[in-house]
Structure 1
Amino acid sequence: MTPYRNLSGRSGVRAYRAELDAISVEFVDGSVYRYTRASAGAAALARMLELARAGRGLSTYISRHVGEGYAERLR
């Protein structure tokens, strides 16, 4: 996992793993969810990857636009 930069200092995201057609996100509570193109949609996945790399806005985007559109809970 790549540590999330958390530029706001208030993010609920701790780390992420960018994959070919997915992103796995580790939240501060230790849970890890995998979002895929099929589960969240291509546009949402692209935006999540962009926000993850930028280090700002990922947790908010997931809660507002993706919700429970994850493929699986890994932990």
Structure 2
Amino acid sequence: MERYRNSGGDSGVSTFEIGSDYIIVKFSGTAKTFRYSYGGGAGQKHVENMKRLARSGSGLNSYINRYVKNLFDK
């Protein structure tokens, strides 16, 4: 897992892992991880947007809360 840069300083995201068709996100204060994938509820468009935000270190937590909060793989 790679540490999330958190440019804004107020993100709940702590670490992430990027794969070809998924992103795994871990939030601060919990050991649980959340996997968002092309084949899961999030879909390709959201996963690619999340990858871009994770790499940039800004906006990932807000994006998750707004668009994909409950669309993680179950």
The normalised TM-score by structure 1 is 0.91
Gaps of 5+ in 1: none
| Mapping for residues 32-47 of structure 1, pairs under 5 Å | 32-39=33-40, 40-47=42-49
The one-letter amino acid of 1:64's match is R
Gaps of 5+ in 2: none
Aligned to 1:18: 18
Aligned to 1:9: 9
Equivalent pairs counted in the alignment come to 72
Overall identity of the aligned pairs, in %: 38
CA distance in 2, matches of 1:58, 1:29: 17
Runs of 4+ in structure 1 off by over 3 angstroms are none
CA distance in 1, matches of 2:25, 2:69: 13
Q: CA RMSD in A?
A: 0.8
Aligned to 2:73: 71
